Amino acid sequence: MTANKDQELVLTGAEQLKAIADPTRTKILQVLDDRPASAKQLAGLLDMTHGKVGHHLKVLKRHGLIEVVEERPVRAVTEKLYGLTYDRLRIRLSGRSDSDPLVFLFEQAAREVAPAAEQPFAERRRLYSVRMPEARAAEFAERLETLADEFAASSGVGPMFGLAGAVYRTSVPGGQS
């Protein structure tokens, strides 16, 4: 469960992208998407030391991705449970940056994807490069964005699914006509 349902977090800076690009932090965010958890619980689930998990939690908190959602006394200390600050993430970088948002999108999808044997829709993958007028490509991009927003608005029980998509200009030689 997330801390704030129907809350979209828009990532606008390269540092935020770096914060979620780390594979350990990606795993932490995936766990917290299911339910709030303490550093100790995360350490056990991820087979890491409490100190390493604590470091990653500080980075995620500093960039506004997680927050303390509950504090409770456990023996002589106060245990903090962390939760997500968002229901959906969107990347929106403008201008020049040391991180290319499109490359980041697909690299992040590669970090999150479960092994091929666990994929239920293997026959539904597509990758195309086609020639078309820019205005037509813009229409496809708009339709894809609408579909992605519909996907993001779906919530419920069951396994976690991801969607990565973009209409982009390729760097294939002879790509201009």
The total of other beta-carbon atoms located within 10 Å of residue 103's CB is 10
Give bridge partners of residue 73 from the DSSP assignment: 78
* pLDDT value at residue 55: 96
Q: Assess contact for 79 and 51: CB atoms under 8 A.
A: no
- The span from the CA of 50 to the CA of 42, in Å, is 8
Q: Is 49 left (phi over 0), alpha (psi -120 to 50) or beta?
A: beta
- The span from the CA of 129 to the CA of 131, in Å, is 7
Q: What are phi and psi of 124, to 5 degrees?
A: -105, 25
Provide the residue type at 151 as one letter: F
Taking each helix axis as running N to C, give the angle between helix 23-34 and helix 39-46, from 0 to 180 degrees, rounded to the nearest 10.
120
Which are the contacts of 168, defined by CB distance < 8 A and separation ≥ 6? 102
Q: Does the global pTM surpass 0.85? A: no
Q: Where are the domains of the chain?
A: 8-112, 119-177
Q: Which helix (H) or strand (E) holds 88?
A: strand 88-91
- The span from the CA of 91 to the CA of 51, in Å, is 29
Please report the sign of the dihedral spanned by the C-alpha atoms of residue 74, residue 71, residue 69, residue 64: negative
- Which CATH architecture group holds 8-112? Orthogonal Bundle (1.10)
Per-residue pLDDT of the chain (177 residues; tens, 9 = 90+): 444 456 888 888 778 888 888 889 989 998 998 899 999 999 999 999 999 999 999 999 999 999 999 999 988 889 999 999 998 887 776 654 555 777 877 887 888 888 888 889 878 888 888 889 999 999 999 999 899 888 877 777 778 788 888 888 887 665 554
Which are the contacts of 48, defined by CB distance < 8 A and separation ≥ 6? 24, 42
